[in-house]
Homo-oligomer: A and B are copies of this chain.
Amino acid sequence: MTVALLSIGTELTRGEIVNTNASWLASELTAVGFTVNTSDTVDDDLDRIVAALHRLAETHPLVISTGGLGPTTDDLTALAAARAGGVELVRDESTLLAIRRRVEARGKTMNAGHEKQADVPANSEILPNSAGTAPGFAIRLRNATVYFLPGVPREMKTMFAEQVLPRIRSSAPNNTHQFRLRTYGLGESVIGGRLEGIEEAYPGITLGYRVHFPEVDVKVHARGATQSIARDLAAQATAKVRERLASVLYGEGDDAFPDVVGRTVRARGWRLALSESCTGGMIAHLLTSYPASDYFVGGAVTYANSAKTRLLGVSEDTLRGHGAVSAEVAAEMAEGARRLCEVDVALSVTGIAGPTGGTATKPVGLVYWAVAHPGGTVVRSSVFPGDRQEIRIAAAYAVLDLLRRIAGNLPELSAQEAPAAR
């Protein structure tokens, strides 16, 4: 069954707040098997709200509206719902009583704004609000059922769970299943190329891609006659996708790349240290965004050459002879961090993130990274495109991926496929 969402509020159309209600509702509805294909937003304008309700109810059997149920004069949703349904707005006495109890329990007295919140379209079904003042309600409009919820996220979520979901759940087709696969190392178009033919080979499968630099998610969405058929289909297609993606696939579902890298190091029984120059703490920050104290010991952020020497023991001769951005310094930084922190493995990054500081032989984007481990020290380099922030993120991911591959005994990507070439 398809669902349309309608978000109401000038604070949304003016961009003063981000519409997290719509994404939350869409995600909840998708998870139980509904198909949300439309999610519209209008400002607090009576005619536009009425028009949107008519339009959405014409094309969708289920519409869920949020916002505009509050106490102030710009809250017009109940009036718009009545207008759309061709009925009067009526004051619901039992709702009024509930509001009065709630207001008085807080030591306040009722005002016109409170009373207004008891106004609902005639013949609507009241949806009590256990988390706030304004109730929601449901109406029939054309062939659709339209649910109206408040815009305050906490109240909306509570009311959706308590009032809406129990009423609609049985009408979800429940015949889809989805796997989300997470990749790093190849661009969206290369991944799309690798997965060519899979949709054709598995009818009912749709592949979706989502880029959040520098990662690409692949979604394997299956639709079948029953959920069990959809799940089997999704599993078969996902196995094929996995095979094609090989080690570019680092995880699935809610796996996060830095956490997967950390788990790989932990699984190897290694303790980790690091030394960062151009990434300036980003790698430490990424790793410690997840519990890391059992494998991550610490490290140094060495922006100035003096810090590389004083904190990590990088030799002044190497710095003078090769420059701070060089394979030799990357190696000495990693080895210095490994020695100093007495750990099994250490990584390093040194490069030119820009926007200034590049030269003809060492352009902005040039980055060297190294991993010093019990088997030796591996140094790699690339010239990353993009702005300062992108270069830093690309560098952080490159060295974390090298660490993941060394700790996990995975082959490195070939030069043709490597990150810089995206």
Interface residues of A (CB under 8 A from B): 10-20, 22-30, 36-45, 48, 55, 70-74, 105-108, 111-114, 152, 154, 188-190, 192-193, 199, 206-211, 213, 219, 273-274, 276, 279-285, 287-289, 291-293, 296-304, 306-308, 310-311, 340-342, 355-357, 385, 388-389, 392, 416, 420-422
List B contacts of A23 (CB < 8 A): 12, 15-19
Q: Which of A24, A112, A206, A303 has the largest count of B CB atoms less than 10 A from its CB?
A: A303
Choose among B72, B206, B211, B280 the residue that contacts A192 (Cβ–Cβ < 8 A).
Answer: B72
Please measure, in the bound complex, the distance between the C-alpha atom of A291 and the C-alpha atom of B284, giving whole angstroms.
19
Q: Is the interface of A mostly helix, strand, loop or mixed?
A: mixed
Choose among B20, B28, B113 the residue that contacts A189 (Cβ–Cβ < 8 A).
Answer: B113
**Those 3 A-B pairs whose CB atoms lie nearest each other, nearest first:** A281-B284, A280-B288, A15-B26
Please measure, in the bound complex, the distance between the C-alpha atom of A422 and the C-alpha atom of B71, giving whole angstroms.
13
| Copies of this chain, count | 2
Instruction: Quote the shortest CB–CB distance from A254 to chain B (angstroms).
Output: 12
List B contacts of A24 (CB < 8 A): 15
List B contacts of A213 (CB < 8 A): 152, 154
Q: Do residues B421 and A108 form an inter-chain contact, with CB atoms below 8 A? A: yes
Q: Do residues A288 and B300 form an inter-chain contact, with CB atoms below 8 A? A: no
Given the interface pairs A311-B311, A421-B106, the reply to whether A43 lies near B48 with Cβ below 8 Å is no
Q: Do residues B22 and A107 form an inter-chain contact, with CB atoms below 8 A? A: no
Choose among B36, B44, B297 the residue that contacts A15 (Cβ–Cβ < 8 A).
Answer: B36
List B contacts of A284 (CB < 8 A): 276, 280-281, 284-285, 301
List B contacts of A108 (CB < 8 A): 416, 421-422
List B contacts of A16 (CB < 8 A): 23, 27, 208, 210, 219
Given the interface pairs A303-B298, A341-B307, the reply to whether A36 lies near B13 with Cβ below 8 Å is yes
Q: Do residues A14 and B41 form an inter-chain contact, with CB atoms below 8 A? A: no
In the complex formed, the residue of B with least CB distance to A27 is: B15
In the complex formed, the residue of B with least CB distance to A282 is: B285
Q: Do residues A42 and B37 form an inter-chain contact, with CB atoms below 8 A? A: yes
Q: Which of A13, A72, A114, A211 has the largest count of B CB atoms less than 10 A from its CB?
A: A13
In the complex formed, the residue of B with least CB distance to A301 is: B284
List B contacts of A276 (CB < 8 A): 281, 284
Q: Which of A206, A292, A389 has the largest count of B CB atoms less than 10 A from its CB?
A: A206
Choose among B15, B154, B190, B420 the residue that contacts A22 (Cβ–Cβ < 8 A).
Answer: B15
Please measure, in the bound complex, the distance between the C-alpha atom of A152 and the C-alpha atom of B187, giving whole angstroms.
13
Instruction: Quote the shortest CB–CB distance from A342 to chain B (angstroms).
Output: 7
Q: Do residues B27 and A38 form an inter-chain contact, with CB atoms below 8 A? A: no
Choose among B15, B29, B154, B416 the residue that contacts A30 (Cβ–Cβ < 8 A).
Answer: B15
Q: Do residues B311 and A300 form an inter-chain contact, with CB atoms below 8 A? A: yes
Given the interface pairs A41-B38, A341-B306, the reply to whether A188 lies near B70 with Cβ below 8 Å is yes
What are 10 sample pairs from A and B whose C-beta atoms fall under 8 A apart?
A15-B24, A15-B36, A22-B41, A40-B41, A107-B416, A111-B190, A280-B296, A285-B285, A291-B356, A298-B301
List B contacts of A281 (CB < 8 A): 276, 281-285, 287-288, 299, 301
Please measure, in the bound complex, the distance between the C-alpha atom of A160 and the C-alpha atom of B338, giving whole angstroms.
46
Q: Do residues A72 and B280 form an inter-chain contact, with CB atoms below 8 A? A: no
In the complex formed, the residue of B with least CB distance to A283 is: B281
Instruction: Quote the shortest CB–CB distance from A86 to chain B (angstroms).
Output: 23
Q: Do residues B114 and A189 form an inter-chain contact, with CB atoms below 8 A? A: yes
Q: Which of A45, A55, A301, A307 has the largest count of B CB atoms less than 10 A from its CB?
A: A301
List B contacts of A105 (CB < 8 A): 385
Q: Do residues B291 and A287 form an inter-chain contact, with CB atoms below 8 A? A: no
Instruction: Quote the shortest CB–CB distance from A384 to chain B (angstroms).
Output: 10
Please measure, in the bound complex, the distance between the C-alpha atom of A28 and the C-alpha atom of B14, giving whole angstroms.
9
List B contacts of A112 (CB < 8 A): 193
